[in-house]
Amino acid sequence: MNVLITSKSFGHGTDGIEMLKDLGLDVLYRNEDLSNADIYIAGDERCGKEFFEKAKNLKLLCRRGTGIDNIDVEKAHKRGIIVTKVPSVMKEAVAELTFGLMLILSRRLLLNIESARCGRWEKSMGADLSGKTVGIIGMGEIGREVAHRAFAFGMNIIYYNRSRKENVEREYNAKYVEIDELMRDADFITLHLPLSGETKGIISKERLSLMKNSSYLINVGRGALVDEDALYSILKEGRIAGAASDVFINEPPQGSLLLDLPNFVPTPHIGSATIDTAKKMDNSVVMEIERFLRGESNINIV
């Protein structure tokens, strides 16, 4: 059987490729080989109508990630293709990145690092996290990990989710609020939602305008959760203190005006980009493929 890998992350720093070969699979890498692929390991690329028309022999599609908004699952099912995804093995890594970005913004680390590197030794004053209010939008597994860390930092926690998470409220003294109240009251707003018709553009121009001028927005969910044009305007006018994003509507965000702003911190979609997480993700994909080859039921089926 042939397995086609287009995910740039699979096998990067891991022995994922060797594990596939040990299963007796022939590994393909070129998009032109899609018609010959029995198994496909997908990254963030779009798998829609054109993709499935070319994938004539495809039997198993493994998404190396948790988000499946780039895959037309309905079309896959109609073709009898099994679709799997990786469970939330990256929750700790994404939560840690969230706090890294919060600290970069709150302590103005980029400016201070550059000042020290250039020998100016000029201190740019920042703000504490302790005692501040973090507003977590999306209290899934990643949101809960952020709450866990925020509690350890001595932050006040408010959150918005489709349903209340009373266990999180008890454990971290978190308070459930509606999203507009969160936008008004939080000093730091972190986004951890999947992308859907319901969540696309949820952080609109109107909601951004509710934020305090001392507050920060951190997006590690999906780029399209935020109206990027509105975010650019509000940052350029100094109506909020700053923002950071690991995700963009278009990736890479070539030509995005956000990249020119000193109060905006971009990262290249590195939420799960740690060696530890990469191994967990690759192992999960290989496990699904191995179960398929043995005729066993897959576990993380979409």
- Residue by residue, pLDDT tens for the chain (302 residues) are 999 998 888 998 899 999 999 999 999 998 899 999 999 999 989 999 999 999 999 999 999 988 888 999 999 999 999 999 998 899 999 999 999 999 999 999 999 999 999 999 999 999 999 999 999 999 999 999 999 999 999 999 999 999 999 999 999 999 999 999 999 999 999 999 999 999 999 999 999 999 999 999 999 999 999 999 999 999 999 999 999 999 999 999 999 999 999 999 999 999 989 999 999 999 999 999 999 999 999 999 99
Clarify whether residues 17 and 32 are in a common domain: yes
Q: Verify whether residue 269 is a known catalytic residue.
A: yes
Tally of domains in the chain: 2
**Residue 77 designated active-site:** no
Evaluate whether residue 298 is within a structural domain.
no
Same domain, 7 and 125: no
Residue 63 lies in a domain: yes
- From the candidates 207, 222, 228, 288, give the one annotated as an active-site residue: 222
Q: Which of 269, 290, 294, 296 is catalytic?
A: 269
Residue 98 burial by Cβ neighbours in a 10 Å radius (0-12, 13-18, 19+): buried
pTM: 0.87
Same-domain status, 9 and 96? no
Decide if 170 is catalytic.
no
CA dist., res. 66 & res. 83, Å (int) = 12
One domain, residues 138 and 215: yes
Q: What is the CATH number of the domain that holds 105?
A: 3.40.50.720
Whether residue 226 is found in the same domain as residue 110: yes
In a shared domain, residues 100 and 160: yes
Same domain, residue pair 166 and 78: no
Are β-strands 39-42 and 60-63 bridged in parallel, bridged antiparallel, or unpaired? parallel
Of 53, 114, 166, 251, the active-site residue reads 251
Boundaries of domain holding 84: 2-89+274-293
* Cα 157 from Cα 133, distance rounded (Å): 6
Same domain, 60 and 169: no
Question: Do both 42 and 157 map to the same domain?
Answer: no
